[in-house]
Copies of this chain bind each other. A is one copy, B any other.
């Protein structure tokens, strides 16, 4: 299938986000070649167990976020992006966001399992959250956490609905619709389980808005 692919070589110069390898459908041979050839950053997401096993010696594989990275970019001297989850089931999605930011050179700080059923957990970390210039908030089920957080901070909040749920919330549509409907201004939403997309939005913010002054 190789010759049919048209590489978008100048994507990074155009958009600030380099070409990234999306795992599903890639053969082991193809992936191995991508991580063997050339130089510089290689970053892959949504890897299967088999794909992660194959890349284990060629790259740094993170089995929670299901990513692999070769030659991460140097970490920039910036305040951290806060990455937050409502429950423990949302950690893989948050980890994809964290791994993407790390690979591309952006510092993060993570706060997991601070959902709205026990508000004291959120209140305990609020001062730290306020210090983050951008927040990525991952939640499944009823997806209420972004609304609560956005009412407490002045940073822009990228909401990531996750597929964690049961009954009507299974698959993440309830969380997505809930986040889109939020009564708290200052929230924008990405696709279900799209930690990568949330990280890209944060990077574009850090890159362009931070530099625009």
Which A residues are closer than 8 A to B by beta carbons?
1, 4-6, 8, 11, 14-17, 20, 24-25, 64, 78-79, 86-89, 91, 110, 112-119, 121, 133-134, 141-144, 147-148, 150-159, 161, 163, 165-169, 172-194, 196-198, 200-201, 203-213
Contacts and interface: CB of A to CB of B under 8 A. Distances in A.
Oligomer copy total: 8
Contacts of A191: 166-169, 180-181
Given A79-B212, A188-B158, A116 B148 contact: yes
A147 B6 contact: no
Given A64-B1, A191-B167, A205-B205, A148 B148 contact: yes
A178 B143 contact: yes
Given A188-B190, A191-B168, A205 B147 contact: no
